[in-house]
Amino acid sequence: MSKSSELVRGNLLKILADNSFHSGEALGATLGISRAAISNHIKVLSSLGLDIFSVTGKGYSLAQPLSLLRANEIKAHLSTSHAIEVEVLNVIDSTNQYLKDKSGQVNNGHTCLAEAQTAGRGRHGRKWVSPYAASLYLSMHWSFAGGYSALGGLSLAVGVAIVDALNQCGVHGLQLKWPNDIYAQGKKLAGILIEVEGQIGSECQAIIGIGLNVALPKDIQEIGQPWIDLSQLSDTLIDRNVLAGKLIRELTNSLSLFENSGLEPFVKKWRNLDIYANQAIKLIVGQNTISGIGRGIDAAGAIVLETEQGLKAYHGGEISVRAI
């Protein structure tokens, strides 16, 4: 994707964001390109998941009003004590990959957000569906002096931080699924992907990626499990800039706390949000399945399962949990 095409599409969207009709001719004249070029850019934007329709004689219009992400608006929702770098990108393969490529050049809290991802990823190499301006796709960098061993339970602390930020925006009734998902009404609202780099025994760099559905296109087909977005949970649509600011603030506070005190300050809250507390569940570990009753997490963040043999804690990023 060339930088100049990106720029043109960014400018095109700024014009369309007013939610009224614009003819191809007028758009072309404003942006200094042909009507045919406008039509091609519209096709690319539609393929990224934007709902743009065209009416003969009137031109193009967005199906929904579009409020784009803006770094200065996001920063306005961080308190002044947070000197955090916030980058807003338009279309990127993956915000986690973007920060990975910047490894060594960024400070703790450095955050990037994108309007769309073309290769958004989840755990186990799964795809994260990332249509344009429909969600938050956010990654934050944090270095941990304690190395890998200091990271146990990090995704649980991040889950609690996301729920706190959403509560502040008036969204309640959320639950957490071990180890990395946020649920509402039994459906997936958000996911966390933490990717870590560094040498064993020394400082390591974590990239904390969050995908949070805000208002996905209703006809979306590609998500292979029940999903939900904030538009279904709140009468008034939550402004993504406000939400991003609150999320970054909660995350930086929680990551500092986690770095100093570990998982302990988060355990009680996590247990209260546990979607599978006292439910029949199965743990899928590679080809194996272990069934039992979910009994929450232990102090290290491992999932605790009760079977006929008693209670046992299971660690490890390879485990997936499902209800039975």
Residues acting as catalytic residues: 123, 188, 322
Tell me how far, at minimum, the Cβ of 207 lies from ligand BTN, in Å. Answer: 8
Q: Are 208 and 142 in contact (CB under 8 A)?
A: yes
Q: Are 207 and 195 in contact (CB under 8 A)?
A: yes
Pairing between strand 303-307 and 288-297?
antiparallel
Q: Are 245 and 77 in contact (CB under 8 A)?
A: yes
C-alpha span between 8 and 179 (Å, rounded): 40
Fill in the amino acid letter for 240.
R
Sheet strands side by side (includes 288-297)? 310-314, 303-307, 288-297, 280-285, 319-323
Residues 224-243 that bind ligand ATP (CB under 6 A): 224-225, 227
Residues 99-138 that bind ligand ATP (CB under 6 A): 122-124, 126-129
What lies within 8 Å, CB to CB, of 20 at 6+ separation is 61
Q: Binding of ligand BTN at residue 123 (CB under 6 A)?
A: yes
The binder of 227, among ligand BTN, ligand ATP, none, by C-beta within 5 to 8 A per type, is: ligand ATP
Q: Are 78 and 249 in contact (CB under 8 A)?
A: yes
Burial of 269 (0-12, 13-18, 19+ CB in 10 A): middle
The binder of 137, among ligand ATP, ligand BTN, none, by C-beta within 5 to 8 A per type, is: ligand BTN
Pick from 62, 69, 116, 210: which binds ligand BTN (CB under 6 A)? 210
C-alpha span between 316 and 305 (Å, rounded): 14
The binder of 192, among ligand ATP, ligand BTN, none, by C-beta within 5 to 8 A per type, is: ligand BTN
Whose Cβ is closer to ligand ATP: residue 106's or residue 184's? 184
Q: Binding of ligand BTN at residue 111 (CB under 6 A)?
A: no
Task: Collect contacts of 167-170 with beta carbons under 8 A, ≥24 apart.
Answer: 168/246, 168/250, 169/234, 169/238, 169/242, 169/243, 169/246, 170/234, 170/238
Pick from 110, 141, 188, 246: which binds ligand ATP (CB under 6 A)? 188
Q: Binding of ligand BTN at residue 132 (CB under 6 A)?
A: no
DSSP code for 100 = H
Q: Binding of ligand BTN at residue 100 (CB under 6 A)?
A: no
Tell me how far, at minimum, the Cβ of 210 lies from ligand BTN, in Å. Answer: 6
Radius of gyration of the chain (CA): 21
Q: Binding of ligand BTN at residue 180 (CB under 6 A)?
A: yes
Q: What is the size of the binding site for ligand ATP (CB under 6 A)?
A: 19
Whose Cβ is closer to ligand ATP: residue 78's or residue 303's? 303
Tell me how far, at minimum, the Cβ of 112 lies from ligand BTN, in Å. Answer: 9
The binder of 210, among ligand ATP, ligand BTN, none, by C-beta within 5 to 8 A per type, is: ligand BTN
C-alpha span between 59 and 22 (Å, rounded): 5
Residue with the closest Cβ to ligand ATP?
A: 122
Q: Binding of ligand BTN at residue 179 (CB under 6 A)?
A: no
Q: Binding of ligand BTN at residue 270 (CB under 6 A)?
A: no
The binder of 248, among ligand BTN, ligand ATP, none, by C-beta within 5 to 8 A per type, is: none
| Positions in the binding site for ligand BTN (CB under 6 A) | 94-96, 117, 120-123, 128, 137-139, 180-181, 191-193, 209-211
